[in-house]
Amino acid sequence: MECEVMSDLESLIGKVHVADAREFLKKIPDGSIDLCLTDPPYFEDVFFEIEDELYRVMKRDSWLIFWWGTKVLPEPFRKLQRFEYVWTIATQHSTPAGKTALGDNVLALILVFRKGRPKIRYRRWDLLPGGDHPMLQKRPKDPEFKPTLTNCFILQMFSSPGDLVLDPFAGLGSIPASCQLMGRRWIAVEIDGEKATRAEEFLRRL
């Protein structure tokens, strides 16, 4: 039975699955994910709706790390019940990402939560460089595509080569691409079929 579970898990790795994360996560075995790194939709509750399933599939000591919008900053602190908040990491957009009540939006936030007591693998800073990894020659021209260099720093800090990373809101593939560049295995889920197709095409060109 254990071999069958492992075989089922291996069949999910290295693919962008077109699916609703609320349903797809049921396919992932208990305690199999080392790190969840994602960019969830800020103005929907779907991220909070999958909390129980995320907690189930993640290992006893593991990290939940996600990009988050400043305008809705209080939401995870009110709605996440099972994961413990640890810290906030900031990075800067290479160009303004929009307008705020104060002016241009140049700051992006990454929130760090945990299950259990995972260890930081490589200590850096809570202000990380933006931009893309120097090995990345082309990227989707879309503001939703998060900077791969920043993602790579996060992967270095909170995971080890060969670890399994889950991205339940993969978008155009920034996090799976960063995983490939850093030697991490990954499972990606994206509900929008057009975005998933673009992500797969981008990942094949790496």
Q: Does any domain span residue 132?
A: yes
Rounded Cα–Cα distance for residues 28 and 151 (Å) = 23
Range of the domain at 149: 15-204
Q: What is the CATH number of the domain that holds 188?
A: 3.40.50.150
Q: pLDDT (tens digit, 9 = 90+) per residue, 165-202?
A: 999 999 999 999 999 999 999 999 999 999 999 999 99
Read off the tokens for 195: 């975005």
Q: Does any domain span residue 5?
A: no
Q: Does any domain span residue 4?
A: no
Q: pLDDT (tens digit, 9 = 90+) per residue, 75-133?
A: 999 999 999 999 999 998 766 667 787 878 778 999 999 999 999 999 999 999 888 77
Q: Does any domain span residue 6?
A: no
- Mean model confidence pLDDT for the chain: 91
Q: What does the CA dihedral 94, 98, 100, 106 come to, rounded to 10 degrees? A: 0
What does pTM read for this prediction?
0.93
Q: Does any domain span residue 88?
A: yes
Number of compact structural domains in the chain: 1
Q: Does any domain span residue 86?
A: yes
pLDDT level of residue 7 (50, 70, 90 thresholds)? low
- Report percent pLDDT > 90 for the chain: 77
Q: Does any domain span residue 1?
A: no
**Cβ partners under 8 Å of residue 7, min gap 6:** none
Q: Does any domain span residue 152?
A: yes
Q: Which residue has the higher pLDDT, 116 or 2?
A: 116
- Which of 15-24, 79-88, 137-146 is the least confident region? 137-146
